[in-house]
Copies of this chain bind each other. A is one copy, B any other.
Amino acid sequence: MEKDLDFVKEITSKEQNFAQWYVDVVRKAELADYTTIKGCMVIRPYGYGLWENMQQGLDRRIKETGHKNAYFPLFIPEHLLKKEAEHVEGFAPEVAWVTQGGSQKLEERMAVRPTSEAIICSLYSKWVKSYRDLPLLINQWANIVRWEKTTRLFLRTTEFLWQEGHTVHKTEQGAEEEALKILYKVYRDYIENDLAIPVVVGKKTSKERFAGALNTYTLEALMSDGKVLQAGTSHNLGQNFAKAFNIKYLDEDQTEKYAWQTSWGTTTRLIGAIVMVHGDDRGLKLPPKVAPVQLIIVPIMFDKTKEEILKKTEDLKIMLDKDFRVEIDARDEYKPGWKFNEWEMKGVPLRLEIGPRDMKNEQVVLVRRDTGEKLVVKEDKLTETVEALLSKIQENLYHQAKKFLEENIREVANYDEFKKTIEEKKGMIKSFWCGNRECEDKVKEETKASIRCIPFDKDKASGKCIYCGKETSTKVYFARAY
């Protein structure tokens, strides 16, 4: 058993050092690793398999709501990036610049896209001519580069992968409806149902909104260390970019009008969220809907029965392969206990064990990763049992996270209690805020808690701003964030 323990021993405990636990799990489960290129990670096959399943679920929702994918250039000439003033100010400090092509110095340097509004809007100004061309609903899956000083695997890296939607509408209302449709019908549905991560949705303050946007809507998720992670954003861009890039259409009334736009994105940092919301001291717990391996078969091998058992596991795999993502771990060099630990580390939702006695009895043992529960299942009930268990695990992960979120949204009586709660309990605090940037800045400075969002469900009640005490009817969520 000593060898079994080693595998887990190398992981820091969550309690002891959450940040180190996170890195240990991401690397040990082979989701991703550092590279020699500062701030750039490699997404390893197991992590990329997870990302592919995530992409599939999100891409389906994006297409079901009428969007099509396209691909825009990686490079953005500096003059284009500068067209929208707030936008360039927001992104310039993070831009990687290409200044040389082959042996030639470029006349104008080019940004490696930190986001694609500028290049996309420059094309939309050519494509959009008439009201008949609208709405224009396009999404892109792409890599993005932002020159970050401190980086963390998945959460903040120089290069990351994302999808970015960019839409054009006839009216202000059209853009607003789109931004909210993405927030609720696409993102929240995907994050809560596929990733089993409950979110708090709302509007960003002007301080926190996207550079160049009119309104930014956000989904905020609570990690199990009590810090919050922004899981996705959807921006109503108003006419800011349409005016900067001259995106106009001829309306039915034969007059030319500036269009209204949105943009929205989610990234590979959601992989980090899955780790931090569901993981424990034994490693990952992956939601079945996106797990690269949903069920791992571990044969219990003895010299005499090895061949028989291996044949049996092959048969089981063929049977289960039709409906589930299944793998067999038939490695000779590790004992079953070591394998159990390794696949728990990798967060595989279900483990199937089968030994000679099970085989004789036409049964297998199933073990749940989320609860550790063991079940003996007859072979002829296997498919239906696996299906039921996977859906139970999916639900259970969501409900555990939901419970944790609800227990960690607090209200406080005054600013002293606010400071104490943030420091000791972390989580989210729902408080009144007067709407002034000054109070927002001061709270951040003094407690490291930022306003994560202004929820839509604000009750009509009013109260005192948590910082300055001014009467207000705006309640917001504060939290320390990634």
Contact = CB atoms under 8 A, between A and B. Distances in A.
Contacts of A101: 95-97, 147, 158
Contacts of A132: 331, 333
Contact of A80 (B36, B77, B80): B36
A43 B158 CA distance: 25
Interface stretch (A17-25, A44-52, A275-283, A388-396): A44-52
A34 B45 CA distance: 34
A123 B73 contact: no
A80 B286 CA distance: 35
A177 to B, nearest CB: 21
Contacts of A109: 100
Given A36-B122, A123-B42, A102 B110 contact: no
A143 to B, nearest CB: 6
28 contacts: A33-B123, A36-B77, A36-B80, A37-B73, A37-B77, A37-B119, A40-B74, A41-B73, A42-B71, A42-B73, A43-B70, A45-B69, A48-B68, A48-B70, A48-B71, A74-B112, A74-B143, A74-B159, A75-B159, A92-B102, A93-B103, A95-B101, A96-B98, A98-B98, A102-B147, A104-B147, A132-B331, A143-B143
Interface string A100-117: 111110000110100000
B119 A35 contact: yes
B42 A74 contact: no
Nearest to A332: B132
A145 B102 CA distance: 11
A53 to B, nearest CB: 11
Given A37-B77, A96-B102, 4 more contacts: A42-B70, A43-B70, A97-B100, A104-B147
A42 B72 contact: yes
A73 B40 contact: yes
A99 interface: yes
B99 A97 contact: yes
Contacts of A95: 101-102
A372 B95 CA distance: 52
A70 B42 CA distance: 8
A75 B40 contact: yes
Most buried by B among A45, A92, A333: A45
Q: Which 6 A-B pairs have the closest CB atoms?
A: A45-B68, A40-B73, A101-B147, A43-B71, A97-B100, A102-B147
This chain: how many copies in the complex?
2
A345 to B, nearest CB: 17
A94 B112 CA distance: 17
Interface in A134-176: 138, 142-143, 145, 147, 158-159, 161
Contacts of A68: 45, 48-49
A128 to B, nearest CB: 13
Contacts of A48: 68-71
A51 B103 CA distance: 32
A434 B178 CA distance: 66
A126 to B, nearest CB: 8
Contacts of A76: 37
Nearest to A123: B42
Contacts of A40: 73-75
A102 B112 contact: no
A152 B69 CA distance: 22
B45 A70 contact: yes
Contact of A37 (B52, B96, B110): B110
A33 B127 CA distance: 11
Contacts of A69: 45, 48-49, 52
Contacts of A161: 71
Contacts of A143: 74, 142-143
Contacts of A41: 73
Contacts of A45: 68-70, 138
A33 B125 CA distance: 14
Interface in A316-361: 331, 333
A49 B161 CA distance: 20
A8 B75 CA distance: 34
Contacts of A123: 33, 35, 42
Interface in A37-90: 37, 40-45, 47-49, 51-52, 68-77, 80
Contacts of A96: 75, 98, 100-102
Nearest to A93: B102
